[in-house]
Chain A
Amino acid sequence: MAVRLVVYLVLGVCVWLPVVCWSQTQQANTIIIKDHQFDPLQLTVPAGQKLKITVDNQDPTDEEFESFDLDREQVVEGGKKIIVYIGPLKPGKYGYWADYHKSSTGTIIAK
């Protein structure tokens, strides 16, 4: 019984771990712009690694992803996506904002 339970647990982990990791990776590397707001407002990423972040503008209007901390400034057209390459980052907080709607801000946290 105990052996069967362990087997089920191992199988469960083997099945779910890649799914969980994959979904976390996808979520962690995407920033959505909708109604001129960033989602998520805080994005946690691993420190010390080169990262590829997708910025998905779901609004019909253009937006600019800008960050002084990350030294990035890229326009993302309405309804389109761009890739922003960042890092490797030291542990810390890195702010960014939507340059065409400056009230929209977000933070990347490198851990």
Chain B
Amino acid sequence: MKLRIALIIFAFICLIGLSCPAFAEKEIFAPEAEQGEWELENTGVYDIDPHKDKNAVQEYHEAVGYGVNSFWHTELELETETQPTDDAITSFQATHMEWENILQLAPKGEYWLDPGLYLAYEAPLINKQVGQFEGKILLEKDIEKFTNILNISFNKEVGGGADPHTDGGISWSTRYRLSRYFEPGVEYWNDFSAISHQLDYNQQSHQVGPCFYGHLMGHLNYDIGYLFGISDAAPRGEVKWVLEYEF
């Protein structure tokens, strides 16, 4: 219990001073931790856009996670990404090492809304990059066979050359629990950039699209989707996926 209280206090302290440029990864987190469970995870995005500077942008995360107890899940993650260059040949490199933590603040179903927190620190692997803290408020509500999850994100860069502003965003997922193997759903992603700037709609990134979730072969979870850009700042299309092997 003392550990739980200490973690929650730590979480709130981190959330207060948060900041960062974009979402670290395209995954919507449920406020859940599964005790004793290991997981290997691959997360990725691939952007499609007629503009050369936004086309073929890719980002991958390879992670190892563990459920320390019934309210704390921790994960170590390597982030690699490609950025388009002038000659259209993308450079591909490992950019960050990330430590993620999910805190489940109440047993599922005890309250009307299931609450949780996500806290992460990304350490740069490249000299020109900066580190960043990321915090999210995780909320989940089951309504009959529909599972609804809302993540409210705050990001802050740290280190020399860091952007002084705190960025924020919202991501939403609604899925229909059709079967254990196949759950159709929809996701909405909004990155409203620096909270203090209050950018116009088209200067913010807004994406929405169909996603499919499920459980295969006993240990494999998938989450695959296609997001349509619905504002100028977003890529026209984005393929996203999360593959997770639990054991």
A positions within 8 Å CB-CB of B: 50, 62, 68, 71-75, 77, 82-87, 90
Contact = CB atoms under 8 A, between A and B. Distances in A.
Interface of A: prevailing SS: strand
A68 B213 CA distance: 13
Interface of B: prevailing SS: loop
Given A68-B180, A83-B107, A84-B109, A75 B147 contact: no
B110 A85 contact: yes
B108 A85 contact: yes
Specify which of A62, A72, A75 lies most central, judged by the most chain B CB atoms within 10 Å of its CB.
Answer: A75
B90 interface: no
B109 A86 contact: yes
Contacts of B164: none
Given A62-B36, A68-B177, A74 B70 contact: yes
> Chain B interface: which size bin?
10 to 19
A72 B37 CA distance: 15
B35 interface: yes
A81 to B, nearest CB: 13
Given A68-B180, A74-B34, A85-B109, 16 more contacts: A50-B109, A68-B177, A71-B142, A72-B108, A72-B109, A73-B32, A74-B70, A74-B107, A75-B35, A75-B70, A82-B70, A83-B107, A84-B107, A84-B109, A85-B110, A86-B109
B244 to A, nearest CB: 13
A75 B34 contact: yes
B177 to A, nearest CB: 7
16 contacts: A50-B109, A68-B179, A71-B108, A71-B142, A71-B147, A72-B108, A74-B34, A74-B70, A74-B107, A74-B108, A75-B34, A75-B35, A75-B70, A85-B107, A85-B108, A85-B110
Contact of A90 (B32, B34, B144, B179): B144
